[in-house]
Structure 1
């Protein structure tokens, strides 16, 4: 079992070698059954290898079926027989003379505790692999994500949450960098992209709360690396998943691969048809200068979002020789949909006497198309761990969005028509070189280069009754050229592991408003140091201390000063003068394992300068007596974030598994926002704020009689105050059931997302001349039924994880 690759290769060679070695010879049959020694359960896909002792080139072999049985054809002779299964101790029968058909009977294999520390077991629960600078969550048979998307997977991972608008946060911090297969997502709208990729396409998610110098410095709150499946098993195998649900949630996806000695063909295909109905309301009270009531506006909103999406990846991995491989893949995503946003604005006077109703209907059509080519070349040298890799990613993304806004009111016969057109094109090229050099026992040196070049053009146009509105029409060109080099040195002395890194990034960014001929260029370069210390207190516990410096660059919607007209009284306006924010992060962690309990804790402190905040201010304009409010992102002074987190895994019985996560943090913000109001007066808005918040999550998985799995997820995100109001707490719960059928080759699963219809964004806002209360629910409660079928593939794969472009660091087992 120490050389899994050799074993698999020998197994693949057996068919071709036997074809030559056995010509003209009588075939004999060797049979038997392989079981787990303790439970007596059959082991499917155990490997049997027979080596002829007089002719080492004569090799025969096979694998067990779902009953643990095997049958291997050989010629007469003397053989060494090896029976193996990953994470189990192998059994070897030496010098077995075979002159006739032979039955080896029942062979029992025992689990190898040492090898269990080396492999990732994708079994009945999500497993965690603790490394020096990250945690890896291997997505197993999580019932909640069947028929779902990447967003659903992320929302089920401890430390990670996805709010009602699809915004991803890590330990309560929204400044998160999201990577897919180690590369920045090439999608213009990452939120929508995560809702398009099917959950079943995910192999694992790497959660890096404090990234080392190897990674992009982007992401003040850390990063998430989503690794997609690429098929690793020998021969032809795969998984097909179909789902249906209410509201409409229909999909079909599959992961297939064919692997031989020389190459691996893999593909993941998925199609979905969804409706995500949502709703929102915003009740506002407008005030006069003296603080008395001016009027009331109660705004109700209903959304119907219909979408069709296709996501497909196809690729080939070529094993040039034992030390060199070259992978090439193409990913194509296409989606289209329509979103009807129906807004009713009920107006009341100062005594809350009804006046009239305004109805705005926004009929929006969207079309998105993305294509990406990725190539990865890996050369492993003679010395173990000595490696050179090259990665290239070239992508093009087109998003087209058109909307017709109809505005009517009960107090007038006038009908206003607004047409909005938002066309976006993004071209992105990424080039990466990584080199790893072992220097001796427990020492390793790494170095690399990353070039990331992005060109995003946003053409936004608004027409009022056929006439172009210059206030909301612009072409924004965003060009980003980032060149980075890094090096890091790792050393392990006895039980102490240390990793020191330094990254240098040169940023050259153009923000050009072509219609107004306003051209801006921002150049800056920065060093990003990192340091990690880990000490193994015992075989079952470890502690770590880490530091890193990070950056958060503003992009897209945050920069575009002409970006939104969905509401005529609440308008979002981007800020092209936004500067990047910088974060210094310190993290202390501790992990302890007992027989049935695993505890992982963390204390963290982040200091961020030029932090982003969203400021709301009056424009000076009124719509039928209602003040028009503008919301824009701004840079303010400093933010201090301190927190405590723990994750607890507990298995009281074999049939019951519990997982809980708790995060508490305090945020202290210091800074002022100075601007000139519509009357020409200088206004200084103070953003000093002290707030605390917390979140918790509990997952329970129980195996009921008849082998029915029952999973319950409950989460609560606590309230949090800000300088202009507060966000209220939200509780949500999901339920799921599953049952294996067709001799465990198929699985039926049923889940209910948001059982109580309570997953909403609830907030209160207090401005000088307006107070408001709002609730927003992006997607209402959903029911989903799915069917999974696996062929030539075990339900629970036990296999060593494959290195990718972001792996290779010195690891420890906590």
Structure 2
């Protein structure tokens, strides 16, 4: 109840800000000042360059703005004579004096040169917002967030609006895990994406883009949207870099370096890091079993204690070559090596119908894990002019291995499991962008993705004899070819973008031990449409539609049995079909001097949605029935939701941003299985309708002595499922930081999960069993980090622009207008 009151107060609080912000000055007749800002050497646009318009011989700006990703700006002012100043961090500013502006005026292209003097000193400038809200996406800038210092990419994502990460590292967007995660615009090649994100250090990340309704230029994969993680790429002239050291409780250590050396033609960049992490967790499952007449049969209480240790090394090295002023070629190698130990101890306590203790047993799972991931990427960009006409080509080749060897000691059994996975993947991509007329743009492209995965899994008993029912050798091959085209144009205050993507998929799922071969071939068209209306310079309305696809992958299709628990087991389903989603989104964005407000209503209609079902196997372990959990294609799911994001800066020393999401999910379908004891067919009705919500608020305050304090609180609401319900979950993180050594270094201290409350709690209701479960993957953690910068401004020019290639997606263009 206290948590509900807390969120209600937040909504009322921000509603008050919104109403206050609406009371702006009366509108005046104004004219528009437009232009573009480019980097002089590369002739590439500079995003987030600042334009200030002042009265002559006055230093106080009366109007201003920033450039968009194309380097374009537009500022409205009353007719008159002004001084105009164009600035960008680490660049020499440009001033236009005594400019007489009586009508709409285009200043043309303004070229800025790097300021060598600034590059050799630390310059403290005003930080840009942690969260930027754009029409088609939200951009979360990692560099200024103390909360993730010394953390991982999972910690970063857990601070991003609309995104949440559960205690097991699974990422969801707007309450759905049906998403696509990209790194520099390319799908993550890791076999276990959740584990890979927990191993990649946060300081390697530049920003995160959240795209809830992607256009045709993006992969059709990801029914609920795309999360694009953009890695750092240094852009400062000369030699510069950053070192970060961290330590924490439970035992955690980390050391990383980001180095960059740039000349006029070549830019060398590298990132390397080592981390040792300890995650302590635990949980419980209390079950009650029933006889056929509904009376209580027995009780079983399971207590789980987990400890996971990870040693991780990651390195990335690359070179960007300016072949010509309009041609750039970047090559990079990424390498990641991880090893670890997993200890999972489960104690079982048995009780009779009167809840009298009858006996106990245990199950100890000791696992050694390891993975090696290597990837080569190449990117070529050819700019035909400075108006956006360009051709890009990308190549990615990767090889990933993931091994796990477990020794399971249980009373009275003993088992050994082995899981070896090898994945190879090649991706090819080409995108062409052609501006047409004023505000028009044509795009077309191709992408090919070719991969295969071999997974050997087996379980042996105490005599080292392989269990054929639990062992298999899986071969998974996936070839996808895609073509897309889209056209955008602007008419007065309306902007339009229409696209069509075609994808052809060929998948083979082969079980080599049993000679069971499955082939799935299908091709689909994926249309998309976006309409934007510019209500004013500060507000826009958008409406969009896209068709999306979700392919079953990884553990969803692998029939290997997860044997971490011998009474609650998981098994993949190689016969899963892809699910198709029609997405509709209506959005509104409004900007004031101190407030940015973005809201949207969305609807998703999904066919053949994936759903997990729990069924009895007919087997017993110490008298306890074994329950199997597996994914199936459920009939249909419809989701309707409302979301808003609010950024508010009441004072220079206080910044607030919040995110609220409410949604209703309705699913219809049924599951049939054969009862292993009676041989009868059992039909499970899985129809379900549930409401849930999610809220997050982030506050950043500058305290006396220039100490920064950041506080984040979040709450996941309760949600009903087809076979039970998930309870609400509250969490809070906090951090303090202080710049030292003449602002060349920063000390940060953060606490993750302050109240140790991020625990997954759920109820499961089956025909002959009810269960209550708790699971906490990671308990409260403390972390201390030290960051040192040399020859690099604190606000980092490369945090504000990546003029050549930011890995911002599968295609090349931006929303017109």
Q: TM-score, normalised on structure 1?
A: 0.86
The aligned residue for residue 5 of structure 2 is none
Q: 1:796 to 1:38 in 2, by over 3 A?
A: farther
The aligned residue for residue 743 of structure 1 is 742
Q: How big is the shift at 1:2?
A: 5.0
Instruction: Determine if the alignment matches structure 1 residue 810 to structure 2 residue 811.
Output: no
Q: Structure 1 CA distance, aligned partners of 2:147 and 2:640?
A: 31
Matching residue within 193, 197, 200 for 2:196: 193
The aligned residue for residue 409 of structure 2 is 406
The alignment partner of 1:744 has SS state of: coil
The aligned residue for residue 39 of structure 2 is 5
Matching residue within 408, 418, 423 for 1:426: 423
Q: How big is the shift at 1:4?
A: 3.9
The aligned residue for residue 117 of structure 2 is none
The aligned residue for residue 630 of structure 1 is 628
Q: 1:749 to 1:457 in 2, by over 3 A?
A: same
Q: How big is the shift at 1:122?
A: 9.5
Q: 1:124 to 1:132 in 2, by over 3 A?
A: closer
The alignment partner of 1:191 has SS state of: helix
What are the within-5 Å matches in structure 2 for residues 789-804 of structure 1?
789-798=788-797, 799-802=800-803, 803-804=805-806
Q: Deviations over 1:365-423 (max 9, x none)?
A: 00100000000011111362111111000000011100000012xxxxxx421000000
Instruction: Determine if the alignment matches structure 1 residue 570 to structure 2 residue 568.
Output: yes
Q: Structure 2 CA distance, aligned partners of 1:670 and 1:385?
A: 47
What are the within-5 Å matches in structure 2 for residues 61-460 of structure 1?
85-86=88-89, 90-91=94-95, 124=127, 126-382=129-385, 384-408=387-411, 415-460=412-457
Q: Deviations over 1:412-461 (max 9, x none)?
A: xxx42100000000001100010111121111110000001110111001
Instruction: Determine if the alignment matches structure 1 residue 732 to structure 2 residue 731.
Output: yes
Q: Structure 2 CA distance, aligned partners of 1:295 and 1:642?
A: 41
Q: 1:123 to 1:148 in 2, by over 3 A?
A: farther
The aligned residue for residue 53 of structure 2 is none
The aligned residue for residue 13 of structure 2 is none
Is contact 2:41-2:325 (8 Å) kept?
no
Q: 1:663 to 1:202 in 2, by over 3 A?
A: same
Q: Structure 1 CA distance, aligned partners of 2:249 and 2:562?
A: 31
The aligned residue for residue 696 of structure 2 is 697
Is contact 1:374-1:394 (8 Å) kept?
yes
The alignment partner of 2:408 has SS state of: strand
Q: How big is the shift at 1:695?
A: 0.7
What are the within-5 Å matches in structure 2 for residues 770-789 of structure 1?
770-789=769-788
Is contact 2:489-2:816 (8 Å) kept?
no
Q: 1:37 to 1:310 in 2, by over 3 A?
A: farther
Q: How big is the shift at 1:93?
A: 11
Paired residues, number:
717
Q: How big is the shift at 1:810?
A: 3.1
Q: Structure 2 CA distance, aligned partners of 1:458 and 1:593?
A: 51
Is contact 1:9-1:261 (8 Å) kept?
no
Q: 1:702 to 1:251 in 2, by over 3 A?
A: same
Is contact 2:235-2:802 (8 Å) kept?
no
The alignment partner of 1:467 has SS state of: coil
The aligned residue for residue 615 of structure 1 is 613
Q: How big is the shift at 1:89?
A: 5.5
Q: Structure 2 CA distance, aligned partners of 1:2 and 1:534?
A: 22
Is contact 1:435-1:446 (8 Å) kept?
yes
Q: Deviations over 1:213-268 (max 9, x none)?
A: 00000000101000000111111111111100000121011111101111100001
Q: Structure 2 CA distance, aligned partners of 1:586 and 1:595?
A: 30
Q: Structure 1 CA distance, aligned partners of 2:554 and 2:734?
A: 36
The aligned residue for residue 464 of structure 1 is 461
Q: How big is the shift at 1:575?
A: 0.8
Q: 1:567 to 1:720 in 2, by over 3 A?
A: same
Q: Structure 2 CA distance, aligned partners of 1:84 and 1:696?
A: 37
Is contact 2:43-2:326 (8 Å) kept?
no
The aligned residue for residue 514 of structure 2 is 516
Is contact 2:86-2:93 (8 Å) kept?
no
Q: Structure 1 CA distance, aligned partners of 2:125 and 2:406?
A: 45
Q: Structure 2 CA distance, aligned partners of 1:760 and 1:84?
A: 47
The structure with higher relative contact order (CA 8 Å, sep 6+) is: 2
Is contact 1:557-1:563 (8 Å) kept?
no
The aligned residue for residue 646 of structure 1 is 644
Is contact 2:439-2:816 (8 Å) kept?
no
Is contact 1:471-1:562 (8 Å) kept?
no
Q: 1:624 to 1:84 in 2, by over 3 A?
A: closer
Q: Deviations over 1:301-335 (max 9, x none)?
A: 11111110011100000100011111100000000
Q: Structure 1 CA distance, aligned partners of 2:130 and 2:144?
A: 10
Is contact 1:699-1:711 (8 Å) kept?
yes
The alignment partner of 1:471 has SS state of: coil
Is contact 1:125-1:140 (8 Å) kept?
no
Q: 1:733 to 1:88 in 2, by over 3 A?
A: farther
Q: Which runs of 5+ in 1 are unaligned?
A: 11-35, 40-81, 95-111, 116-120, 409-414
The alignment partner of 1:544 has SS state of: strand
Is contact 2:283-2:305 (8 Å) kept?
yes
Q: How big is the shift at 1:85?
A: 4.3
Is contact 2:43-2:386 (8 Å) kept?
no
What are the within-5 Å matches in structure 2 for residues 545-694 of structure 1?
545-678=543-676, 679-694=678-693
Q: Deviations over 1:21-58 (max 9, x none)?
A: xxxxxxxxxxxxxxx9569xxxxxxxxxxxxxxxxxxx
Q: 1:228 to 1:83 in 2, by over 3 A?
A: closer
Is contact 1:301-1:344 (8 Å) kept?
yes
Task: Give the structure with higher Rg (CA).
Answer: 1
Which stretch shifts more, 791-800 or 313-322?
Answer: 791-800
Q: Structure 2 CA distance, aligned partners of 1:156 and 1:122?
A: 24
Q: Structure 2 CA distance, aligned partners of 1:407 and 1:288?
A: 27
Q: How big is the shift at 1:811?
A: 3.9
Q: How big is the shift at 1:812?
A: 6.6
Is contact 1:130-1:812 (8 Å) kept?
no
Q: Deviations over 1:445-479 (max 9, x none)?
A: 10000001110111001001111111111001110
The alignment partner of 1:214 has SS state of: coil
The aligned residue for residue 480 of structure 1 is 478
Q: How big is the shift at 1:502?
A: 0.2
Q: Structure 2 CA distance, aligned partners of 1:642 and 1:453?
A: 35
Q: 1:444 to 1:130 in 2, by over 3 A?
A: farther
Q: How big is the shift at 1:135?
A: 2.6
The aligned residue for residue 26 of structure 1 is none
Q: Deviations over 1:243-298 (max 9, x none)?
A: 00000121011111101111100001111001001101000001111111111110
Is contact 1:531-1:546 (8 Å) kept?
yes
Q: How big is the shift at 1:680?
A: 1.7
The alignment partner of 1:774 has SS state of: strand
